[in-house]
Amino acid sequence: MIKKPSHAACLVFAALFAIIAAGGCGRSGPAVAYVEGVVLLDGEPVAGASVGFSPVSAGQPAFGKTDATGVFHLTTVRGGARDRGAVAGEYSVTITKWRNRMEGITEPNLALEAELAKLPPDYIVPKDYGDKAKSGLKATVKPGRNAGPEFRFELKGDFKGG
User: Tell me: the pLDDT tens digits for 54-82?
Assistant: 999 888 999 999 999 999 999 999 888 88
Other C-beta atoms lying within 10 Å of the C-beta of residue 20: 9
> Would the pLDDT of 40 be above 80?
yes
For the segment 7-30, the average pLDDT, to the nearest whole number, is: 49
> Would the pLDDT of 23 be above 50?
no
15: which residues sit within 8 A by CB, 6+ positions away? none
pLDDT (0 to 100) of residue 107: 74
User: Please, where are the H alpha helices in the chain?
Assistant: 7-23, 110-117
Confidence of residue 3 (pLDDT cuts 50, 70, 90): low
Q: What is the pTM of this model?
A: 0.74
CB 108 within 8 A of CB 114: no
116: which residues sit within 8 A by CB, 6+ positions away? 101, 102, 105
CB 61 within 8 A of CB 11: no
CB 137 within 8 A of CB 49: no
Domain spanning 32-155: CATH 3.40.50.12170: no
Q: Cα 142 vs. chain centroid, distance in angstroms? A: 16
∠ CA 3-5-10, rounded to 5°: 170
pLDDT (0 to 100) of residue 105: 67
